[in-house]
Amino acid sequence: MASGNGSSAPTEFDVVVVGAGFAGMYLLHRLRGAGFTTRVIEAADDVGGTWYWNRYPGARCDIQSVDYSFSFDPDLQAEWQWTEKYATQPEILRYAQHVADRFDLRRDIQFGTRVEAAVWDAAAERWHVRTSRGEELVCRHYVMATGCLSVPKEIDIDGADRFQGPTYLTGRWPHEGVDFTGKRVAVIGTGSSAIQSIPIIAQQAAQLTVFQRTPNFSIPANNGPIPADKLEAFRSDPAGYRAAARMSSSGVPVVPSEQSALMVSDDERLARYEEAWERGGIIEFLGCFNDHLANPVANEYLAEFVRGKIRSIVRDPETAEALCPRTYPIGTKRLCVDSNYYETFNLPHVRLVDLRRHPIVTITETGVDLVDESLEFDAIVFATGFDAMTGAIVSVDITGRDGITLKQKWADGPKTYLGLMTAGFPNFFMITGPGSPSVLSNMIVSIEQHVDWITDCLVRLRDRGMTTIEPTETAEAGWVQHVNDFADITLMPQANSWYMGANVPGKPRVFLPYPGGVDRYRVACDEVVARGYLGFRLHGPAGDQCHDGVIRRVQPDVMIMLELMAQLDLPPMDTMSPADARAFSTAMAAQRPPGPEVGEIVDGVLPGAAGDLAYRLYRPATPGPHPVVVYFHGGGWVLGGADSDDPFCRDLCVRSDALVVSVDYRHAPEARFPAAVDDGFAALRWVADHAEDLGGLPGQLAVAGWSAGANIAAVACHLARDHGGPRIAGQLLVTPVTDCDLSRPSYEENADGYILTRSLMAWFWDHYADPADRTDPKASPLRAASLADLPPAMVVTCEFDPLRDEGVAYAQALAAAGVPVRHVAARGHIHTSLTAVDALPSGAAYREQMGEALRSFFGAAVPV
């Protein structure tokens, strides 16, 4: 039973929580309501967390106050009135104190106490928690609600402790405030904390010198009363407003733009930027087009717009240029929100020192020595940031199963399942931990979601007689992979940001928060529960339970595309006539990005097996002659034409530096098997014979194809081997059809939901070939009597493709027959995703390998 008095006697609780910020407070409230005995340990002498410690002048939230407030209690929502659009630190702290009073939270919070260590006792299934007061608390569940930006980064500037005057850390500001009147003040750092405090310090100081190592992008807060439309939207339907926030990407109910910054005129783009600049809001500003964080060109438009604003505000051109960020994409470091930051540099007593040009040698007793100048100060403010996301968690010595500490486990970066738990540490939870949306979202929304998830979890465990819960290694590794995959399709990893741990010397460079959005994240967390706590091991007197698995395996950009397609509710192609299916696929293709520029595109006609066939030639921009790739398009032998894989052919042309000749063939059902392969072989021969005329290198010929086109490419290699040539240097088979057997496991696993379904594949086969013909090696090359003496191959298969296993089988059969073969298995991809050039960035790495393979077929020095 809880004593609730903070006495030194060992005391047992259901749950011990570290931290009494917004997360710890709401968790205490929920756990109490669910009947769990709970003790919260807090280092400060009151509630508030971040807003208790960060009292520097000008400290405000960069999320609007209406959004940055609890939603769990309608009465609390109704009674609290914010005074400004962006609340000040004192007002937010008052709000936290009001919440503590209103729900009588303080009686279960032990203030002025740090947790120093926590050790898991496997036999007793309890955590032993030691505090700075020498107490030992015992609990079944242990929760770190310590915030993401709560441990200041160590000051890593030589001589920092030599300075004889007062020094201040923005994250540990004196409660009584600081009067800089008449003082010569140095501010080191230009992150959010500095950008907010500099204009206020400048109002008091006699001289202010700002030391900047890396400039930040900042937009004006345009603070004032809460915008009337926002207030009205909230007041008229608080529940609906909060529900929209929970299912938004950022935790703020903003309707995101669906338009690319590249798809509008320069004037329209600029007008949109001006409007967003005036309106303010980091989410709205970055989101005024949908690709600022994904497309470098779009990003640079926005970055240059902000640089233009800086130049227009700051009068001294040299200072203005120094304030313009250039070394990372905008938004990949937290965008700052300011009130008169850039204007402050127009004041005569304010100076900017660009540390890239004038580095600090040391801090001295009286000031700062630069390489080329000594400066004297009365006070120094360090606005040097935090050991973000992991710093506070590993600052407690946490020891899990088998004596492994969390510091050891996270030596190469944090590993969590959903940012909520970590394998090897049963019954240990984190609120807004690494791997969750946390700092990329409105923290209050993310805090409420985590608290609700954890409380519901503990209730379910109790109800079902389970005493421990812990993620499996498989589930955790899968989630870490998913977070990295998501980060990799954005520009975020390009910055040396605290999101990457890059601000702390020696910290592993890992993307820390989950970049997939609050909405998707919530869906994943709920799905884990709905699937019987997928990826968690539950244990207790009632028995053991483990549904092991990975919650998100499809590549994130592919997942988003599938979500969008599901919303469109398109009719299945296999319910259409071939003519309608062709019209439909042509209409879909018209929506694609065009693919890269090539040197030249030429359309022509060549003789097929029974009449003329169209071809489209893609010539590299480099000087020729070039090796030649004969390419066969996908489309299940029913759809498509010489130009239907245009973006992919352009991409192959650029990456392989080869001439790509995409040749058409007769389609089913009008021309059934073997018309397509006969045409394919005839086209191959014609191209081989006319290579020089086309600008190709004679004898430097390869084939490539995708899907049914890869089937034709593979069969063409058999026919060339068996019927006197031409000599083929290599075959690139992308998700090939190699066999007519539709019962392989990949057909079972991926029967539905990944665009190429089992029924669509059956529809293609039915149009293409009679059942009796399908086992013919010209239809099912895997069934050929021999695969020996075929050209070297690259076979690419996709994890979520019904055709995966027959592709794997073909690669294995080629290898067994002595053919040099490289099999590339594209993790998390579907049948159609690798050819979606520019639409799905996660496929680019595989296309690069395809380009390398083609070059290697022609003898270039690249590994196959």
x/- contact string, 132-171, with ligand N01 (CB under 6 A)? -----------------x------xx------------x-
**Residue 498 or 764: which CB sits closer to ligand N01?**
498
> Would you say 64 or 384 has its CB closer to ligand N01?
384
Contact yes or no for 721/692 (Cβ under 8 A): no
- CB closer to ligand N01 out of 391 and 791: 391
Among 98, 102, 130, 213, interactor with ligand N01 by CB under 6 A: 213
Site for ligand N01 in 339-358 (CB under 6 A): 355
> How far is the C-alpha of 846 from the C-alpha of 843, rounded, in Å?
5
DSSP 8-state class, residue 18: E
What is the rounded CA–CA span in Å between residue 1 and residue 36?
10
Q: Supply the minimum distance, in Å, between the C-beta of residue 168 and ligand N01.
A: 13
Burial environment of residue 368 by CB neighbours within 10 A (0 to 12, 13 to 18, 19 or more): buried
One-letter amino acid for residue 602 of the chain? V
Task: Tell me which residues in 59-88 interact with ligand N01 (CB under 6 A).
Answer: 60-62
Q: Token pair of 69, please?
A: 């407030």
User: Which residue's CB is nearer to ligand N01, number 385 or number 608?
Assistant: 385
How is residue 772 written in tokens? Answer: 């009796």
Residue 187 tokens, joined: 């501010």
Interface region with ligand N01, contact rule CB under 6 A, candidates 15-23, 103-111, 185-193, 801-809: 185-193
- Pick the stretch among 58-66, 101-109, 461-469, 703-711 that binds ligand N01 (CB under 6 A): 58-66
Tell me the closest approach of the beta carbon of residue 598 to ligand N01, in angstroms: 40
* Count of other CB atoms within 10 angstroms of residue 274: 12
Binding span for ligand N01 by CB under 6 A among 74-82, 186-194, 365-373, 477-485: 186-194
Q: How many CA atoms lie within 13 A of 521 on its CB side?
A: 33
- Indicate whether 185 belongs to the interface with ligand N01 (CB under 6 A): no
**Minimum CB distance to ligand N01, residue 755 (Å):** 39
Please identify, among the stretches 187-195, 398-406, 472-480, 703-711, the one whose residues bind ligand N01 according to the rule CB under 6 A: 187-195
Q: What distances in angstroms separate CA 207 from CA 203, 239, 348, 379, 623, one per listed residue?
A: 10, 50, 9, 11, 61
Binding mask 837-856 vs ligand N01 (x if CB under 6 A, - otherwise)? --------------------
Which C-beta is closer to ligand N01: that of 337 or that of 798? 337
193 is an interface residue for ligand N01 by CB under 6 A = yes
Under the binding rule (CB under 6 A), the answer on residue 188 touching ligand N01 is yes
CA triple 93-95-96, angle to 5 deg: 65
Provide, rounded to whole angstroms, the least separation between the CB of residue 292 and ligand N01: 18
Tokens describing residue 181: 């009147």
Which among 54-62, 91-99, 541-549, 687-695 is the span making contact with ligand N01, rule CB under 6 A? Answer: 54-62
The DSSP bridge pattern shows strands 115-121 and 397-399 to be parallel
Cα separation, 196 vs 381, in Å, equals: 13
Burial 139-152 (b: 16+ CB within 10 A, else e): bbbbbbbbbbbbbb
Q: Closest CB to ligand N01 among 287 and 851? A: 287
Task: Choose which of 218, 340, 344, 503 interacts with ligand N01 (CB under 6 A).
Answer: 503
Strand-pair category, 167-169 with 109-110: unpaired
Shortest CB 67 distance to ligand N01, Å? 12
**Cβ closer to ligand N01: 157 or 489?**
157
* Chain residues 425-444 in contact with ligand N01, contact rule CB under 6 A: 439
Yes or no: say if 796 and 728 are a contact pair by the CB < 8 Å rule: no
d(CA 773, CA 639): 20
Contacts with ligand N01: how many residues (CB under 6 A)?
27
User: Closer CB to ligand N01, residue 353 or residue 573?
Assistant: 353
Report the alpha-carbon distance of residue 58 to residue 340 in Å, rounded.
11
CB nearer to ligand N01: pick between 88 and 405: 88
Q: Do residues 379 and 167 lie in contact, with contact meaning Cβ atoms separated by under 8 Å?
A: yes
**CB nearer to ligand N01: pick between 361 and 550:** 361
Nearest approach, Cβ of residue 77 and ligand N01 (Å): 21
Q: How far apart are CA 548 and CA 537, in angstroms?
A: 8
- We find the least distance from the C-beta atom of residue 325 to ligand N01, in angstroms, to be 10
Separation of alpha carbons 562 and 756, rounded Å? 12
Alpha helices by DSSP H, 367-435:
391-394, 406-409
CA distances (Å), origin 573, targets 576, 591, 674, 742: 5, 17, 23, 18
**Which letter does DSSP use for residue 102 in this model?**
H
850 neighbors 603 (Cβ within 8 angstroms): no
CB of 305 to ligand N01, least distance (A): 21
Question: Minimum distance from CB of 52 to ligand N01 (Å)?
Answer: 14
In the set 37, 69, 150, 196, which binds ligand N01 (CB under 6 A)? 196
**Which of 844, 850, 667 is CA-nearest to residue 769?**
667
202: three-class secondary structure by DSSP: helix
Q: Print the binding letters for residues 367-396 with ligand N01: x by CB under 6 A, - otherwise.
A: ----------------xxxx----------
Contact 837, 595 (CB under 8 A): yes
Out of 47, 143, 194, 803, point to the residue binding ligand N01 (CB under 6 A).
194
Touching ligand N01, residues 589-618 (CB under 6 A) = none
Q: Which is nearer to ligand N01, 64 or 214 (CB)?
A: 214
Q: Binding residue for ligand N01 (CB under 6 A) from 184, 334, 415, 626?
A: 334
In the complex, which residues of this chain contact ligand N01 (CB under 6 A)? 60-62, 149, 156-157, 170, 188-194, 196, 213-214, 334, 337, 355, 383-386, 439, 498, 503
